[in-house]
Amino acid sequence: MPVPSSRHFLQIPGPTNVPDRVLRAIDRPTIDHRGPEFEKLAREILAGLRRVFKTKQPVIVYPASGTGAWEAALSNTLSPGDRVLMFETGHFATLWREMAERWGLSVDFVPGDWRHGVDPALVEDKLRADPQGKVRAVCVVHNETSTGVASRIPEVRAAMSRAGHPALLLVDTISSLASMDYRHDEWGVDVTVAGSQKGLMLPPGLSFNAVSEKALAASRTAGLRRSYWDWSAMLRANESGFFPYTPATNLLYGLRESLAMLEEEGLENVFRRHARHAEATRRAVHAWGLEVNCADEREHSTSLTGIRMPASHDADSLRGIILDRFDLSLGQGLGKLKGKLFRIGHLGAFNDLMLCGTLAGVEMGLSLAGVPHRPGGVAAALQHLARPV
């Protein structure tokens, strides 16, 4: 393979492209994490995060991947043997279930087809069938990164309210925060899980829990063991602008810059940009005569699109051809979808021309791989993108 003469196209659904502004912010001398300069940095970041999560409640920052934030959400709110309600919406929902079971929780895992989000009516039925309130938490992946399907969190919360059930609502927003509309307080979420490497436009390495008053109350009696993940230690230190252990200082520099970029663009504009790119991508897929994985128009992800391959054609072979020929990385199918699907990430630091280049690479790759399709996908996307914003 010849050495590429230009930049690599990284269009997986995360980690995403890191803007130069953020890279330059990270590239600063490390400071004393017990000194006044760090205190100012931490207070700025914690305030900015509350605006992104749309909450007035605390947001806790961990030096960890999103998996760490999953564990923190469970270990701070639940006790051994507690029942939790979870849904098979894709690969990451399945991994969260496996973690819960390793913690000794009793998981009611509702089967799914990896093409639909959580059914709010089913949430209500499950909780009405539990009048004694033995289900302690409902865990939902807002935007399933492996499938390109988004669950309707406000409707899930409304279903829980109609059932009159006291369960906590825990939501994974790892591939939706700062890309898709999300409202921790307004939607009645108790713990929101997030990571740094997607909509926040950072490298991997930071994870987050936004926590409600109800979740904080639950943490005072929760019986699962915790030390590193303990909210109380973090919150005590955060009150004075510090952390209970060494923080990822340079990633926090980058986070301050990414929060500034989001505020400069305006979150509503960020969401509209993502929705516009998602619609253009779906138009390209339909023009090619291929199938979007999401089967419900109400549940299309706006941060990524999963594209199903025709029978007898392998998605990983297509991805390999596109990577070799155009230096373009696309997301692979995970779990049950391995080889059956590829994913285009269109989230984070992303613009019209980047999308055009990505779709052009895919269309050329389909031809090179001999995948049956119609030409004109890129043209369909361009027609949508050329409309006045």
Residues 197-224, mean pLDDT to the nearest whole number? 98
> Residue 340 pLDDT > 70, yes or no?
yes
User: What's the mean per-residue pLDDT of the chain?
Assistant: 97
> Residue 173 pLDDT > 80, yes or no?
yes
What confidence tier does 2 reach under pLDDT thresholds 50, 70, 90?
low
Task: Tell me what pLDDT residue 250 has.
Answer: 97
d(CA 341, CA 321): 15
Within 13 Å of residue 270, how many CA atoms lie on the same side as its CB?
25
- Give, in order, the Cα–Cα distances in Å from 81 to each of 52, 78, 103: 34, 9, 9
d(CA 51, CA 54): 5
Task: Tell me what pLDDT residue 360 has.
Answer: 98
What confidence tier does 5 reach under pLDDT thresholds 50, 70, 90?
low
The encoded tokens of residue 350 equal 């992303």
Please report the DSSP string for 284-316 in residue order: HHHHHT-EES---GGGB-SSEEEEEPPTT--HH
Task: Tell me what pLDDT residue 388 has.
Answer: 87
> Residue 3 pLDDT > 70, yes or no?
no
Residues 21-49, mean pLDDT to the nearest whole number? 97
Task: Tell me what pLDDT residue 213 has.
Answer: 98
State pTM to two decimals.
Answer: 0.97
Task: Tell me which amino acid residue 159 is.
Answer: A
> Residue 211 pLDDT > 60, yes or no?
yes
Task: Tell me what pLDDT residue 1 has.
Answer: 52
Condensed to tens digits (0 to 9), the pLDDT of residues 301-339 reads 999 999 999 999 999 999 999 999 999 999 999 999 999
Strands 341-345 and 328-332: antiparallel
d(CA 126, CA 212): 23
SS3 334: coil
DSSP 230: -
Condensed to tens digits (0 to 9), the pLDDT of residues 225-281 reads 999 999 999 999 999 999 999 999 999 999 999 999 999 999 999 999 999 999 999
Task: Tell me what pLDDT residue 144 has.
Answer: 98
What confidence tier does 6 reach under pLDDT thresholds 50, 70, 90?
confident
In the numeric block, the tokens 């929101």 are attached to: 192
In terms of Cβ atoms closer than 10 Å to its own Cβ (0-12, 13-18, 19+), residue 248 is buried
Type and span of the H or E element at 340: none
What confidence tier does 40 reach under pLDDT thresholds 50, 70, 90?
very high
What confidence tier does 7 reach under pLDDT thresholds 50, 70, 90?
confident
Condensed to tens digits (0 to 9), the pLDDT of residues 127-168 reads 999 999 999 999 999 999 999 999 999 999 999 999 999 999
CB 262 within 8 A of CB 177: no
Condensed to tens digits (0 to 9), the pLDDT of residues 356-382 reads 999 999 999 999 999 999 999 999 999
Task: Tell me what pLDDT residue 308 has.
Answer: 98
